[in-house]
């Protein structure tokens, strides 16, 4: 068993956790009501006053927030404090109206890094470790979050960011990395790349990996564990709530403990908004209990999962969530990047193509493939290979700048994409992302 980070909180009794949550929620709702006019309006519309919230049991009286609210309030409408008190902005990969901009005070950054530190400790991390952080750095929360957590634990931190696989492997081997943090698909790719270069799993010094930001299966876990010779831990989070570290796996590897002293979780019926009892499958909703810069209350994540308070052998008492089992919206996560079909359609129309298209996503050798088939209109149609290739390249570039990743574009003859009789089938996702 690794050292606990903040054992007194992570193993606190249910009563102790509730006491912390109840104290924090009363303060937080008052803070939001006084400082966030957008949310104050929502509360007023619902007829809820801060005094109505005396404990976490009363949270269900509060209005929900959705990504649409974030879009409407973009960029400063949900800010919970003066901008001069904020020290950081992070953002999601999505663009055009789907962008989320989150603000952090130094206190918020500290909480976030503390949550990531707990995840690293739960994966066995100590100040003797060399922690290779291969999530993207920048606006994406993966790199900065795990980087901060690694510092807090006292690991020697390798801030690699994503990409440049040769350099990743060279540093991993030369500098004896013991913990790897990246998306599961990139971990699988690094494993394969080591094998291709003639290394066996036991040739590296890695002992653990902290992988998240996208769905991955138990089979994928086993395959990564085998190829890198490590134990692979899941980590979950979203930009809206800070980033990675909202929840993390312990050695039992049966779900992720939610940091309940900072985030209050509910499961709701995505259709009716009704709060469901423990053990039900539904949409995960988070209330941040002590964030200052971007203090979202009852934020609907659109991630479908199940919560469990079953006793965990690691000793931690915080509630566990399953891996996200799906989404209640149409967001896809492709190579760790959040992609909405509506963004793809917007690019096609802007570039003068028809809205007849099909998106095909698959996972081959643990890496996502991303293809878009787009129909020419009869006027656009060309059978000159050089022309078609140039147009495909241009469209790939336009997609890349909108989405952050480039799909393989296939321009096809008019009327070749099957028309559906009901709703158009725009997305064919062949990946099996959970068990
Ligand atoms: O992906 C934060 C993160 C970074 C988490 C690094 C873990 C590691 P966003 O880009 O805002 O933030 O995307 C959030 O990604 O609503 C889920 O749908 C999905 N997601 C995050 N972690 C997992 C996971 C980061 N472990 C969205 N398993 C969330 C499955 C995940 N899906």
Q: Is the CB of 237 under 6 A from ligand 1?
A: yes
For residue 376, give the CATH number of its domain. 3.30.300.30
**Domain-embedded: residue 243:** yes
Longest dimension (CA), the chain: 71
242 and 341 housed in the same domain: no
Does residue 213's CB lie within 6 angstroms of at least one atom of ligand 1?
Answer: yes
Predicted pLDDT of residue 1: 40
* Total domains, the chain: 2
Task: Tell whether ligand 1 has an atom less than 6 A from the beta carbon of residue 236.
Answer: yes
Which residues, 6+ apart, have CB-to-CB distance to 98 below 8 Å?
67, 71, 92, 338, 340, 342, 343
Query: Is 357 found in the same domain as 268?
Result: no
* Domain-terminating residue out of 327, 358, 390: 327
Looking at the structure, tell me whether residues 11 and 142 fall in a common domain.
Answer: yes
pLDDT value of position 2: 43
**Same domain as 178, residue 65:** yes
* Same domain assignment for residues 269 and 407: no
CA of 97 to the centre of ligand 1 (A): 19
pLDDT value of residue 95: 47
pLDDT value for 214: 87
Domain boundary among 301, 327, 353: 327
Q: What are phi and psi of 409, to 5 degrees?
A: -100, 135
Answer yes or no: do 278 and 376 share one domain: no
**Does some domain include residue 435?**
no
Do 322 and 349 lie in a common domain?
A: no
Cα–ligand 1 centroid distance for 236 (angstroms): 5
Q: Which domain holds residue 358?
A: 332-429
309-363 residue pLDDT tens: 999 999 999 999 999 988 888 889 998 888 988 888 889 988 999 778 899 999 9
Give 288's contacts (C-beta < 8 A, 6+ positions apart): 28, 241, 242, 262, 263, 294, 295, 296, 297, 299
Q: Would you give the DSSP letter of residue 118?
A: H
Identify each DSSP E strand in 50-155 by its residue range: 86-91, 101-105, 130-133
- Does position 435 have pLDDT exceeding 70, yes or no? no
Atom of ligand 1 nearest to the CA of 327: 18
Q: Mind listing the pLDDT tens digit for each residue in 110-151?
A: 999 999 999 999 999 999 999 999 999 999 999 999 999 999
Residue with CA nearest ligand 1 atom 30: 215
The average pLDDT across 242-264 equals 97
**Burial class of 207 by CB neighbour count within 10 A (0 to 12, 13 to 18, 19+):** middle
pLDDT at 5: 67
Q: Is the pLDDT of residue 379 over 90?
A: no
In a domain, 434, yes or no: no
Predicted pLDDT of residue 218: 87
Rounded mean pLDDT, 299-303: 96
Same domain, 307 and 386: no
Domain boundary among 327, 346, 366: 327
Give the domain CATH number at 81. 3.40.50.12780
299 pLDDT tier (thresholds 50, 70, 90) = very high
pLDDT at 384 over 80: yes
226 and 339 housed in the same domain:
no
Residue with CA at minimum distance from ligand 1 atom 14: 238
Q: Is 134 in the pocket of ligand 1 (CB under 6 A)?
A: no
For residues 403 and 128, the model is more confident at 128
Is the same domain home to 358 and 413? yes
CB-CB contact of 237 with 127 (8 Å): no
Q: Within this chain, do residues 340 and 246 fall inside the same structural domain, yes or no?
A: no
260 touches ligand 1 (CB under 6 Å): no
Determine the distance separating the centroid of ligand 1 and the alpha carbon of 391, expressed in angstroms. Answer: 33
* pLDDT tens-place string over residues 34-73: 999 999 999 999 999 999 999 999 999 999 999 999 989 9
Indicate if 235 and 99 belong to the same structural domain: yes
Q: Dihedral sign, CA of 139, 145, 151, 157?
A: negative
Tokens 């290779």 identify what position? Answer: 132
């Amino acid at each position: 068993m690794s050292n606990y980070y903040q054992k007194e909180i992570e193993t606190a009794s249910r009563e102790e956790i509730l006491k912390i949550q109840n104290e924090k929620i009363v303060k937080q709702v008052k803070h939001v009501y006084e400082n966030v006019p957008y949310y104050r309006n929502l509360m007023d519309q619902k007829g809820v006053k801060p005094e109505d919230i005396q404990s976490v049991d009363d949270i269900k009286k509060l209005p929900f927030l959705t990504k649409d609210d974030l879009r409407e309030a973009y960029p400063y409408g949900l800010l919970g404090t003066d901008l001069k008190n904020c020290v950081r902005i992070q953002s999601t990969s999505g663009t055009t109206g789907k962008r989320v901009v989150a603000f952090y005070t130094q206190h918020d950054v500290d909480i976030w890094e503390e949550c990531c530190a707990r995840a690293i400790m739960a994966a066995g991390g100590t100040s003797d470790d060399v922690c290779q952080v291969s999530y993207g750095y920048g606006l994406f929360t993966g790199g900065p979050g795990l980087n901060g957590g690694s510092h807090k634990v006292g690991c020697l931190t390798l801030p690699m960011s994503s990409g440049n696989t040769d350099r990743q492997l060279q540093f991993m081997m030369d500098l004896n990395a013991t913990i790897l943090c990246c998306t599961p698909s990139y971990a699988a790719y690094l494993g394969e790349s080591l094998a291709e270069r003639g290394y066996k799993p036991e040739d590296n010094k890695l002992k653990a990996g902290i992988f998240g930001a996208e769905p991955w299966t138990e089979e994928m876990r086993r395959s990564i564990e085998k190829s890198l010779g490590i134990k692979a831990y899941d980590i979950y989070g979203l930009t809206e709530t800070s980033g990675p570290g909202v929840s993390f796996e312990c050695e039992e590897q049966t779900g992720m403990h939610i940091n309940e002293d900072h985030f209050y979780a509910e499961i709701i019926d995505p259709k009716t908004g009704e709060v469901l009892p423990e053990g039900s499958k539904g949409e995960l909703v988070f209330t941040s209990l002590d964030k200052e810069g971007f203090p979202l209350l009852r934020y609907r994540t659109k991630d479908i999962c199940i919560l469990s308070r079953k006793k965990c052998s690691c000793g931690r008492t915080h509630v566990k969530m399953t891996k996200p089992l799906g989404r209640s919206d149409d967001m896809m996560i492709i190579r760790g990047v959040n992609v909405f079909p509506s963004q793809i359609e917007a690019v096609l129309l802007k570039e003068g193509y028809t809205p007849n298209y099909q998106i095909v996503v698959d996972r081959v050798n643990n890496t996502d493939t991303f293809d878009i088939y787009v129909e020419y209109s009869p006027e656009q149609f060309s059978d000159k290979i050089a022309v078609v290739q140039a147009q495909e390249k241009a469209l790939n570039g336009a997609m890349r700048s909108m989405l952050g990743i480039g799909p393989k574009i296939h321009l096809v003859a008019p009327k070749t994409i099957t028309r559906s009789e009901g709703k158009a089938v725009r997305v064919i996702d062949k990946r099996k992302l959970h068990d």
